[in-house]
Structure 1
Amino acid sequence: MEKLRAYWLEFFETEHNEISWWKRKKDLCKKRGVEIVRINGEGSIYERMIQRSGETVHYLLHITFLMKQKDHFYMEENVNAYQFRLVEGEIVDNHMIGLPYEKVEKEKIVPETIRNGKIERFSYDRLAAVQYAERWWNSYNPAYRKFDVDCTNYVSQCLRAGGAPMRGAPNRNQGWWYQNNNWSYSWSVAHSLRWYLDGSTQGLKGIAVDSASDLSPGDIICYDFEGDGRWDHNTIVVSRDNNGMPLVNAHTDNSRHRYWSYEDSTAYTPNIKYKFFRIGE
């Protein structure tokens, strides 16, 4: 762990090229008028594989950034899975692993929206949704299944905690629901939830707005990283920075109070598209 600590200390002190997430994060902070005051990191090894040529180590890295924006301080946290090889006592090829965001065939996951019947209204408890998002941002509620790609499942749980009514069971192509270890596509798949929020006319529905600045805590942001029409990721707004812009929580990768634009994400591309939804109106 001492070698790993030394590796990351050098990483944060070294200038990187334009594709490095760390350089993009610093550039984003500069654009926002944010100073990174302090960085804390904690690593935990969860798998070691001994091989003839060395050892492969998998670990989780929990990074906490203390941010200062004018006179306002806040903490941003991220947890990512990494892998490195230990060859003759030296760390080689340290890199992020796993499937950070959803890559699915959109033809299989667009739900049918029920458009007839009485429109159901509900009072959305934004505070309850945000409290749930804060409680479970880096852990998993045992009342629900944990998915390898968990971002939409997490956001759905937050919406449910805010009082959003479920409907459509047991048809997985309809409505938005979780029941008896079964669920709709819109509950668990980023692309499907994005279109469900846009098309639903009763119960849980989203009102599309033009800008992230129009969102409040409890609202939802959807991400199409490649700009190819497949929506890969969802987050929930939990706070605002000193400029009034959203800070979000997410699973896969687990993040807390992250700036909404994800310009420092390894999945970010210049073609990224966003969809902003107000909930409960």
Structure 2
Amino acid sequence: MKQRLQDLLAKRAQCFVSGSKNEDMLHLYDPAMERKHRLMEKREAEIVRCAIKGQVVRKYELEEHADIEYLVHYQFLIKQNRWMYIEEQVEERRARFQSGELVKDERVTAFETMEPKQQIELERSVREKISYEYDRIKAVRYAETWWNSYNPAFKTFKVDCTNFVSQCLYAGGIPMTGYPNRAKGWWMKNHNWSYSWAVAHSFRWYLSSARVGLQAVEVSSPEQLIRGDVICYDFEGDGRFNHTTIVVAKDQQGMPLVNAHTTNSRMRYWSYEDSTAYTPNIQYKFFHIIDK
């Protein structure tokens, strides 16, 4: 089983680098992989090398077929003009082997399932002034430290993207507010949390409305963002936001590279066009975190 997985990952790595659609690899070349190559072309970049490591999480064997669920850690060495950097991503996948031959390999998708029981209450009036200084370096350092692991000081969710970004902002010095009302403020403490801390849709609306504590201003394009700023994603374009990332760097074209949880990612291109969740209807919100 271990050797089968290693062979599978070696072929996937080859597909990522070469963009090969050879007949013997066609079953490995999925739409997300094709979108990633198109994205590289648009950015005038290329994948120079791809290293993939896999770890079996569980396996099921029954007569002639075997199913394995595994974590796969991608490392892409990307060249853009004369600049090179490493993008990383971790995802959960499921493969089926029939009589020793691979017949299916697919990503296990996590969706935003947390629904607030009531709409988050918008804080449109200033009742108290809470000053802070946002240290972007500390926020980015936290994002780099914990992008592929989980700080035991905080609760972890299966859909963890917004929780992770909230932790990054908090590490940058932004104070929590609103405890213990889950529909107010932005906080996580005593084994509880506000909707805005952990739910992508609530967080997006909180950034648009908050006048106390964490505050942000919406900008019109990703180029206007700097390190420590935030991007919110509505993959289906249906008005419900379901993903959040934090900007950790800019590429050679001045475009954001982001870190994220759920599909744990490091230095990923901001647009997520290579994501399995991507649709042509995707909508973005770009938020510059206000420094005080």
**TM-score class, shorter:** over 0.9
1:23 to 34, 51, 55: 34
Alignment of 1:95-134 (within 5 A): 95-99=106-110, 101-103=111-113, 105=115, 108-113=118-123, 115-134=125-144
Q: What is the CA distance between 1:105 and its match in structure 2?
A: 4.9
Structure-2 separation of matches of 1:167 and 1:207: 18
| Aligned twin of 1:148 | 158
Report how many residues are paired: 280
SS of 2:134 mapped into structure 1: coil
Structure-1 separation of matches of 2:269 and 2:205: 23
Report the residue type matching 2:66 in the other structure. Answer: E
| Aligned twin of 1:260 | 270
SS of 2:93 mapped into structure 1: strand
TM-score (norm 1): 0.94
| Aligned twin of 1:77 | 88
Distance change in 2, residues 1:112/1:53 (3 Å) = farther
Contact 1:114 1:200 in 2 (8 A): yes
**Residue 105 (structure 2) pairs with residue 94 (structure 1):** yes
Contact 1:22 1:264 in 2 (8 A): yes
Stretch deviating more after TM superposition (65-74 or 90-99) = 90-99
Q: Unmatched 5+ residue regions in structure 2?
A: none
| Aligned twin of 2:257 | 247
Report the residue type matching 2:45 in the other structure. Answer: V
Distance change in 2, residues 1:205/1:259 (3 Å) = same
Q: What is the CA distance between 1:216 and its match in structure 2?
A: 0.4
**Residue 236 (structure 2) pairs with residue 221 (structure 1):** no
Structure-2 separation of matches of 1:109 and 1:5: 47
SS of 1:113 mapped into structure 2: coil
Contact 1:56 1:86 in 2 (8 A): yes
| Aligned twin of 1:199 | 209
| Aligned twin of 2:11 | 10
Q: What is the CA distance between 1:127 and its match in structure 2?
A: 0.2
Q: Unmatched 5+ residue regions in structure 1?
A: none
Report the residue type matching 1:42 in the other structure. Answer: K
1:136 to 112, 130, 146: 146
| Aligned twin of 1:188 | 198
- Fraction of identical pairs, as percent: 49
Report the residue type matching 2:266 in the other structure. Answer: R
Q: What is the CA distance between 1:128 and its match in structure 2?
A: 0.3
Report the residue type matching 1:236 in the other structure. Answer: I
Report the residue type matching 1:74 in the other structure. Answer: Y
CA RMSD of aligned residues (A): 1.8
**Residue 174 (structure 2) pairs with residue 158 (structure 1):** no
Contact 1:173 1:185 in 2 (8 A): yes
Contact 1:178 1:187 in 2 (8 A): yes
SS of 1:67 mapped into structure 2: strand
Structure-1 separation of matches of 2:123 and 2:231: 20
Contact 2:216 2:289 in 1 (8 A): yes
SS of 1:271 mapped into structure 2: coil
Distance change in 2, residues 1:210/1:19 (3 Å) = farther
TM-score (norm 2): 0.91
Contact 1:209 1:277 in 2 (8 A): yes
SS of 1:133 mapped into structure 2: helix
